[in-house]
Amino acid sequence: MKILIEKEKNVEKKTDHFYELGDLFEESNSDSALHYYTVARDFAKKNKFGLGEARYASYVIMILNKQGEFKEALRLAEESAEKYKKLNSPKNLSIAYLNIGNQWQYLSDFMAASDYYLKAKNIADSLQDKITQRTVNNNLGSVFTEMRQYEKAKEYSIQALKLSKENKDPWTSLSPLYNLAINAKYHKKYDEAIDYINQFEKIAKELGSEYDIVDGYLAKGNFLGKTKLSEGISYLNKALQKSKELNFPESEMYGYLYLAEIYIEHKKYKNAIENIELGIPIAERLETKYELADFHKKASETYEKLGDFERALTHNRQYEKLHSEIQLDENKKQLIAFEAKYQFKQKEAEIRTLNAEKQAQTLKIRQKNFLNFALAAILLAAGIIGFLVYKNYKNRQKLQTQRIHELETEKQLSATRALLQGQEDERSRMAKELHDGLGGLLSGVKLNLNNMHKKLIITEEDGAAFEKSVHLLDESISELRRVAHNLMPESILKFGLNGAIGEFLQSIQNENLKIIYQSYHIENGLGKQLDISVYRIIQELVNNSIKHSDASEILVQVRKDENLVIIEVEDNGKGFDPQSIEKETGMGLTGIRSRVDYWKGKLEIDSENSGTAVHIEIPV
């Protein structure tokens, strides 16, 4: 390859060869891979080959993710998208958006991920690029599955499968078929899930893909085991046998995990324990925290069923320890995502400031040119005509200077307002969400752990591990408070009022609380400031219902009728005395009243033993 690079004279081909050389080292030596990727980028930049320079991000983000450099990977992916925009390369831009979506999905911000995937889809659809269309539809199926929006997930996965068949690429059919099978399992449609896995297994065998064949056995065994224990065990044993033959330890681990799961469901606890004890050493060797935690949780519950409480307690301690570590990892990812969004907003504000300064500089240059021309005209003029021309010039100069002064003042005010408003809004939102949401969760976890510590008798060694976990939790809380004090993020994410309200309501919905959300004619928003007010009002009303009403169902409705925005929030909780509202001084109702009054709106509250209904009207 190096000899080929030395002989190559064509800039584009030579850049390709440098990237290919780095790709050869990616699995065995990431440092060498990064070196050659950087050489390729610098060579392309030096020779003004913009597309070659922009491709750098696509190669390095995988390595950066493995090294835990998530923010840097996201920054490079966004830079790559900006370069492709300037180069007017829509096909590459759609791939760049895919990379950004992948980064947000990796950081567990599924709404941001879906936003970028949809951007990529719009471009791919307009270009009729079926290969990218298949990839983006498959990714959308995956991300909507993570968000538990199963109908959307199924819709996009079916589109991905259809495009795979049109492209006549059976390899790309495997992923959407597997996603569809998992989707059907979540709906407990086991026959439909088996049908998709049978198609998956058939294609895997035709392609000779042993790894996918084993995956098919695992999935089929897991699905069948729910209703047909013996058939499920048979397929899972097939998967275990092949995994051992082919040295697939991860697949072997899942085989034991799924066997334990179906044995537990059928109350065959001793069989479940046998498989759990075989699976735990493999999970420990692979350092897969999620699966290891699942093994210990199942072991604790199963030993409890068998009456062996000592072993149940031992496994429960292991599970709690792993769960805490996993929660800390997830919190770190969320903090990185919050910080990345905040930096993105700061960058936007800086760009607006620079554009304003550039406009003022242009006006100054125009003024200078005008002054030179006027001066030359004055020198050529004579007598009264010269005097009139000179006087006219002076008047114009005065007006022009005044105009420039006004524009500069307006520019400074606009830039300062935009920067401060962006920072204040962003910091306020993030501080509240981190402090009240994640901070409260972590503090609750700490309180539960301390209560548990007081009630349990544990060994000195376990006590030290427990104290270490509490110490890690304290550090996480301290770090969270530091970020909350430094950041004030925006209340509404860039995907709009309707999406922001939907995401908020979805995030707090659980099996004990059903939230119904209806919106009409607000798809395009209501204007930035009004969007924020409407979002905050709904947020506060729903939180009040959850905190005070013991409601099991909440109805939220937002609609725009001509020049009026109407907000209605109803719950089936225990209600309260409407007369006490007048004496309410807490931040909740006070904040709502302030926002409604600011927009010259009307607030009506009707509450009785059967529930509470709030009706708000805001003129647009």
Crossing angle of helices 269-286/289-305, nearest 10°?
Answer: 160
The strand pairing partners of 608, in sequence order, are 611
Which of the residue ranges 163-177, 250-264, 355-369, 431-445 has the most confident prediction, judged by mean pLDDT? 250-264
Question: Out of 117-121, 183-187, 197-201, 236-240, which region has the weakest mean confidence (pLDDT)?
Answer: 183-187
Mean pLDDT computed over 521-537: 82
pLDDT score at 420: 36
Superfamily of domain 134-197: Tetratricopeptide repeat domain (1.25.40.10)
Q: Under the phi-then-psi rule, with left for phi > 0, alpha for psi from -120 to 50, and beta for the rest, what region is 383?
A: left
Tell me the per-residue pLDDT of 417-470, one tens digit each, with 9 for 90 and over.
454 355 446 656 666 666 666 666 777 776 777 777 666 667 777 777 777 777
Average pLDDT value for residue range 96-102: 90
pLDDT of residue 360: 47
Q: How far is CA 276 from CA 247, 262, 326, 488, in A?
A: 19, 12, 20, 46
Per-residue pLDDT of 365-395, as tens digits, reads 665 665 566 567 567 665 677 566 667 667 7
Instruction: Give the per-residue pLDDT at 487.
Output: 41
Q: 403-414: per-residue pLDDT in tens?
A: 766 666 556 545
Eight-state DSSP code of residue 557: E
Strand partners, 569: 556, 614
Per DSSP bridges, beta strands 564-571 and 553-561 are antiparallel
Token representation of residue 614: 């709030």
What does the pLDDT read at residue 597? 84
Strand partners, 518: 557
**Which of the four pLDDT bands, split at 50, 70 and 90, describes residue 297?**
very high
To the nearest whole number, what is the mean pLDDT of the chain?
Answer: 80
**DSSP code for 231:** H
Residue type, 311: R
Predicted local distance difference test score (pLDDT) of residue 582: 52
Amino acid at 487: L
| Residue 187 vs residues 26, 181, 221, 388, 506: alpha-carbon distances, Å | 40, 10, 17, 87, 19
The token pair at 189 is 């449609």
Q: Burial-class residue 475 by CB neighbours within 10 Å (0-12, 13-18, 19+).
A: exposed
| Among candidate residues 26, 111, 13, the one with its CA nearest the CA of residue 496 | 111
Tell whether the torsion through CA atoms of 334, 339, 340 and 346 is positive or negative.
positive
Rounded to an integer, what distance in angstroms lies between the CA atom of residue 584 and that of residue 577? 11
Element (H, E) at 602: strand 602-608
Of the chain, the percentage scoring pLDDT greater than 90 comes to 23
Computed on alpha carbons and rounded to an integer, the radius of gyration of the chain in Å comes to 31
Specify the pLDDT at position 19: 87
Residues across the chain: 620
Confidence class of residue 235 from pLDDT cuts 50, 70 and 90?
very high
Cβ contacts of residue 21 below 8 Å, gap of 6+? 1, 2, 5, 36
- pLDDT-derived band at 286, boundaries 50, 70, 90: confident
Q: How far apart (Å, rounded) are the C-alpha atoms in residues 174 and 165?
A: 11
pTM above 0.85, yes or no: no
Question: What number does CATH give the domain 496-619?
Answer: 3.30.565.10
Token pair belonging to 141 = 């199926």
- Confidence at 27, pLDDT banded by 50, 70, 90: confident
pLDDT band at 620 (very low <50, low <70, confident <90, very high): confident
Give pLDDT, residue 615. Answer: 92
Q: Please state, for a pLDDT cut of 70, what percent of the chain lies above it.
A: 77
Q: How confident is the model at residue 342 (pLDDT cuts 50, 70, 90)?
A: low
For residue 262, what pLDDT band results from cuts at 50, 70 and 90?
very high
Reported as a pLDDT band with limits 50, 70 and 90, residue 313 is very high
For residue 69, name the pLDDT band (cuts at 50, 70, 90): confident
Of the pLDDT bands very low, low, confident and very high (cuts 50, 70, 90), residue 278 is: very high
Q: Quick one: average pLDDT of 573-581? A: 69
Per-residue tokens: 61? 């983000």
Q: What is the mean pLDDT of residues 166-188?
A: 87
Name beta bridge partners: 45: none
| CA distances to 34, 63, 286 from 28, in Å | 12, 12, 18
| DSSP secondary structure of 249-279 | HHHHHHHHHHHHHHHHHTT-HHHHHHHHHHH
* 605, 578 contact by CB (below 8 A): yes
> Are 249 and 212 spatial neighbours (Cβ–Cβ below 8 Å)?
no
In the prediction, which pLDDT does 354 show?
Answer: 57
